[in-house]
Structure 1
Amino acid sequence: MRDRNRTVSVTMVRKVEATTGAVYAAWTEPRLLARWLAPGADTVTSVTVDLRTGGSFRLEGVNGDGKPYAFSGTYLDLVEDRRVALSWIYDGPVPALRGGTSIVVAELRKLEPGVTELTLTHEKLAARDAAEIYRVSWTECVGKLACVAACDEVAARPAGPGERADFFSDSQRDLQDRFGSRKLADRLEAVLVHDHLSAVDAAFIARQNMFFLATADAYGQPSCSYKGGARGFVTVADARTLAFPDYNGNGMHLSTGNINETGKVSLLFVDFERQARMRVLGSACIADGDPLLERYPGAQMIVRVTIESVFTNCPRYIHRMSVVEESAFVPKSGAETQEPAWKRLSAVADVLPDKDKHLAGQDTDLDKTLNKD
């Protein structure tokens, strides 16, 4: 006979590249909870929090099928930067998750500067099928949490000596004054610049199959990179978060290395067919365990961008061009990904990564393999 008092639990331990303070904030601030506490295609629509022991919380959302659900409960224990414990009640369309109250506990431990060990336990679950659903869901959510905590930590860092506090730098202001455009610049900032994506912005991004990515290393050296994929390859995770895949490239890791060093990025989207462009400024982080990896065959990592500013630019100098065809090298599900000709160059034959050793060749014409000649 089944023991009705017996319960099951789920426990996972993850290393998060962020401080304990940033991870604690991700667990307790509504604006951050809304960005990670939603597995798969779920979307959070509302978060209310009474952050105190005995206080209540409620999170509402819709799943990938558009069906509403909610989680609610009470804070059982709060130790700043160390522990969050809460009761957990599910109200939604999944029968296995309904009925009864369970307990969620997040324990935070500093491993080294900027690195936190998160131990997540979801206990007092009534059945093993519920535990398995939560195991998968929490795995996806914690992947998002790691990016949210890391990105928000960079974005929230106060301006230090020599760092600008407003949208324009001192040098930009000097040039505006020289050419009499300060008032115009202020008006355009007020009208065009915002800190989140509108529905029109999101639709614009969803139509694009390329953008330019600007980053800078710790020495201030900038780098600009072209990023291409299938149309819509940049995911609008929410109004303040973009995500895109890091595909196999030339192995130099200039952009991703810079992101790991400084976290600051600028994205320029150009629609050459409609002659329109949009810029996104923000903070980025990289994860090789991000749940979005499943959406992008062939991706090595996922880059998530927390938006700080987004604005549309004057389109007057954009040349009108049309797409002849998307690159045949973009990875596709169920199809073998083509390899670039430059990997057959004799100059790199002895230094190719192990997975590419079979591509080594004797070609010598560098310009031809890079389509320059």
Structure 2
Amino acid sequence: MRTSARNRQKNVAVTLVRKIQSSSEAVFAAWTEPRLIAQWLAPGADSVTAVTADLRPGGQYRIDGLHGDGSAYSITGTYIEIIENKRVSITWTYDGPVSALRGATSLVIADLRRRSSDVTELTLSHEKLADREAAELYRINWSRCLEKLEPTSRLHLPIDQQEADNPSREFFTDEHRRLQDRNGTRKLADRLQALTVKHELNVVDAVFIARQNMFFLATTDADGQPSCSYKGGARGFVNIIDNKTLAFPDFDGNGMLISVGNISENGRVGLLFVDFEKQARLRVNGRAQIFTENDKLFSRYPGARSIVRIAIDAVFPNCPRYIHKMALVEESPFVPDGKHPVPRTDWKYLAAFSDVVSEDEAGVETDLDKALSRD
């Protein structure tokens, strides 16, 4: 009976299935390239400090990291099976302060199934676990890690793209410099640029963007007239194509089409992401293009009129001091999801618009401020 109980414990396993919005090549790279492994294979506040990998059947790997409380741990093992873009199978031994995970050698299998050119179904199995306590801990930890896997996989680029030249435009203009000199902040500005301004996303940036459900978009028309627009969607609606490219959907709005019109005339844009709950923000400058047909992202965004793709020139965080702390009550029910009907838009039912909207939207309401939630 004791032997039978031990055998049953050794068969405890955890299986998670996720659809990753990245190619199987990119997801495979996130599982096999040390620089990418270090970005996602640590749950919550844990962090990876070093990764070594001999990527071949029988080869050894080692991951060193720190738990959120600063205590050190390591994970070691052997590559059992490697099938490019399809499977990674490894043994797994944890050595660290979490006693429930320590000592026993288990088996981790990542199966990748290509669903489309940019969607991969990942089936993650963690088998031969010591007991159900270990299984529950690993279920939680793997779930947290997989939240980082998708944005990390999008940081994978072919070598020729990785070596592409950075934009040559100077970050500061002559007028920026004049004002910095007048206020005595040139050295501070230079230090901030050196420490924070990048020409591509890192995994912290990618995870931050993937968590957001809104941002502010700055555009300029051909004559230099600026405009700032709020863009909202479901959490994660900004698509991280890779570490140099973002995309987002253009949904039905008020019909003025100022942002997309400006982009058609002048592709230079600025994006400001603000997380009011965490009091943090990130800025992205780049060059945008509008795609109204034949873009594969239309299948991801039901109801989108066009897809906006942005080639990143600069990305940098901002000082969070003046961000008010606010909590999200609910996401907008107007965001199309392809599953539920979109609610009516009150302002389109105003009598003043009855002759310029579709017949099913026309109405007789008269209070504009109320319809725009301004009363």
User: TM over 0.5, yes or no?
Assistant: yes
Which secondary structure does the structure 2 equivalent of 1:269 belong to?
strand
Aligned to 1:176: 180
Instruction: Select the residue among 309, 320, 344 that pairs with 1:339.
Output: 344
Q: Distance in 2 between matches of 1:207 and 1:370?
A: 27
Aligned to 2:191: 187
Deviation at 1:338, TM superposition (A): 1.4
Alignment of 1:1-373 (within 5 A): 41-42=22-23, 68=85, 165-289=169-293, 290-352=295-357, 356-373=358-375
Deviation at 1:358, TM superposition (A): 1.2
Q: 1:93 to 1:363 in 2, by over 3 A?
A: closer
- The amino acid of 2:191's aligned partner reads R
- The amino acid of 1:300's aligned partner reads R
Which secondary structure does the structure 1 equivalent of 2:264 belong to?
helix
Q: 2:210, 2:237 within 8 Å by CA — same for their partners in 1? A: yes
Q: 1:93 to 1:350 in 2, by over 3 A?
A: closer
Tell me, which stretches of 5 or more residues in structure 2 are unaligned? Answer: 1-20, 30-82, 87-111, 115-160
Q: 1:67, 1:93 within 8 Å by CA — same for their partners in 2? A: no
Q: 2:350, 2:364 within 8 Å by CA — same for their partners in 1? A: yes
Q: 1:214 to 1:207 in 2, by over 3 A?
A: same
Across the aligned residues of Structure 1 and Structure 2, the Cα RMSD in angstroms comes to 2.4
Identity %: 56
Q: Distance in 2 between matches of 1:211 and 1:41?
A: 23
Deviation at 1:68, TM superposition (A): 1.7
Q: 2:24, 2:113 within 8 Å by CA — same for their partners in 1? A: no
Q: Distance in 1 between matches of 2:214 and 2:113?
A: 38
Which secondary structure does the structure 1 equivalent of 2:224 belong to?
coil
Aligned to 1:161: none
Deviation at 1:334, TM superposition (A): 1.3
Q: 1:44 to 1:262 in 2, by over 3 A?
A: farther
Aligned to 1:115: none
Tell me, which stretches of 5 or more residues in structure 1 are unaligned? Answer: 1-39, 47-65, 70-91, 95-147, 159-164
1:308-347 deviations in Å (ceiling 9; x for gaps)? 0000001000000000111111112211111210110111
Query: In the comparison of the two structures, how many residue pairs are matched?
Result: 225
Deviation at 1:348, TM superposition (A): 1.1
Deviation at 1:44, TM superposition (A): 5.5
Structure 2 length-normalised TM? 0.57
